Structure 1
Amino acid sequence: MAHPFIWAMRVIHAFEDRIVAAILRQPGFHRGVGRIHKYIDEKQNGRHPHEPLAPGEATADPNAPDQTRSFVKHFVDELRNQARGKPTDIDKPPHK
């Protein structure tokens, strides 16, 4: 008797065209692919000059530190302090 996994694979293989067609009919799939394409295109070629600005982008401070980098820096500093046995004093207010 065949293993249940083999039967499952046969069923999936038999309905593969229907599964692919169902995925391609979904507008969410095409939106996702479009977002990925736009992200990669902007990384490779820069922003399209005729694209409208994102909300808050026109008023964003270009000299402000990147939030992701500052979080990663803070996180790494915390790990180092804990490894040294000197955890950060939590009573101090955070500096900005």
Structure 2
Amino acid sequence: MGPRFLLTVILSDFIVKKLLRSPGFNRGVQRIHDQIQELKYGRNPHEPLRQGEATREQGVDVNGFLAHFYDELRNQLRGKPTNTTQAPPKDQRLKK
């Protein structure tokens, strides 16, 4: 083994140890773990509600904007943009 290989191994071990000890890395791993557990097993009933979750209307599509945005992009690519029947707002400063 050459000195470059030995130096690379020592340096990579040092970097990995520093990364595993950092609180930011551990918080990120914990968030990912929590999200996976929630997807697999559902919401933890002992966990507090998230912001806005208590007042959210039931049956409202959370991805409504994304679905509408996807439809608009699809229509644009087909060459059939959505026709808006509303007139654009008039600027009140121009009238005197």
The question of 1:60 aligning with 2:56 is answered: yes
Pair 1:33–1:84, CA change in 2 (3 A)? closer
Percent identity (aligned): 49
Cα distance in 2 for residues equivalent to 1:82 and 1:10: 57
> 1:44 aligned to 25, 40, 60, which one?
40
Count residues with an aligned counterpart: 84
Alignment pair present for 1:89 and 2:48:
no
**Which segments of 5 or more consecutive residues in structure 2 lack a partner in the other structure?**
88-96
SS at match of 2:38: helix
Structure 2 residue aligned with 1:30, among 15, 20, 26?
26
In structure 2, the CA distance between the partners of 1:55 and 1:79, relative to structure 1 (3 Å rule), is closer
Q: Which amino acid aligns with 1:54?
A: R
Q: With the length of structure 2 as denominator, give the TM-score of the two structures.
A: 0.69
- C-alpha spacing 1:10/1:62, structure 2 compared with 1 (3 Å): farther
Instruction: Compute the RMSD of aligned alpha carbons.
Output: 2.5
Give the gaps of 5 or more residues in structure 1: 1-6
